[in-house]
Amino acid sequence: MANAPTRGGGIRRLGGLGVVLAALALSGCASDDDPNEYEPGSVGELYNSAMNLMDEERYKKAAKTFDEVERQHPYSVWASKAQLMSAYAHYLNNSYTEAINALDRFIELHPGNRDIAYAYYLKALSYYERIRDVRRDQSMTSQARDALQQVIRRFPDSKYARDAELKMDLVEDHLAGKEMTVGRYYLNKGHYLAAINRFRAVVKDYQTTSHVPEALHRLTEAYLALGMKDEAQKTASVLGHNFPTSEWYVDSYELLTGKDLAPERADDDSWIGKVWHSVI
């Protein structure tokens, strides 16, 4: 949003209203013990009351108060701002599901709003901040990637797109890491074809991540285990050409030479040749 709030950053207040008005707002709203009942109040009273609650880091109560701005004054110019601030309060409270629901509603109702880029970005953050360890389910990571890609695609010249691109690196690395974890499991169990499918996915779909050298080495291992010597040689060659100082190439080279083989250049018709030529 214009001067959009971020964690730890400043928050925009409704201008032109004094401290007395904010104090009246506090008395106009119900206590925390009865958060669902609000006395009617002016848009200024409610909005500034919510902002005071944000300052006090009472984010759950602040979200409810922002919701009251929209409920009591749906046609006010501050109703849409309150919707977005409610989502932001949920986000600060780590209530990510509630934040996403509120943001989806804001995006649906106000697609042309000046703060729409920020709404998409905040939604992406609400997924991104729940990325789990690579050994666990990565559905949230996939959702974070989709949301970040939307920010990049829809608002390519915004500051949010630039930050989304940086965060995509971690997202891609997590997804590649999950493929590697499953691939190693299959490899250790002797399920070589299943392992190959996982390692190939890393090479094809996550080409800029740090996992690619190991994926190429593990492919070499799996191909050799299946007696597919040509594929093993070509894969090791790609590994050596692009990552000559990698420990994974050293391992692959020793693995091949131990079987009286040597890395062989991948031709353009092989899958590894096609993939790698598309990368470079």
What percent of the chain stands above pLDDT 90?
Answer: 61
* pLDDT confidence of residue 41: 64
How do residues 113-163 score in pLDDT, each as one tens digit? 999 999 999 999 999 998 876 566 678 888 999 999 999 999 999 999 999
* pLDDT confidence of residue 278: 45
* pLDDT confidence of residue 2: 43
Model pTM score: 0.70
Residue 38 has pLDDT above 90, yes or no: no
How do residues 96-116 score in pLDDT, each as one tens digit? 999 999 999 999 999 999 999
* pLDDT confidence of residue 268: 53
Query: Higher pLDDT residue, 233 or 275?
Result: 233
The whole-number average pLDDT for the span 171-192 is 94
For the chain, give the secondary structure using H, E and C. CCCCCCCCCCCCCCCCCCHHHHHHHHHHECCCCCCCCECCCCHHHHHHHHHHHHHCCCHHHHHHHHHHHHHHCCCCCHHHHHHHHHHHHHHHCCCHHHHHHHHHHHHHHCCCCCCHHHHHHHHHHHHHCCCCCCCCCCHHHHHHHHHHHHHHHHCCCCHHHHHHHHHHHHHHHHHHHHHHHHHHHHHHHCCHHHHHHHHHHHHHHCCCCCCHHHHHHHHHHHHHHCCCHHHHHHHHHHHHHHCCCCHHHHHHHHHHHCCCCCCCCCCCCCHHHHHHHHHC
* pLDDT confidence of residue 22: 37
How do residues 48-90 score in pLDDT, each as one tens digit? 999 999 999 999 999 999 999 988 888 888 999 999 999 999 9
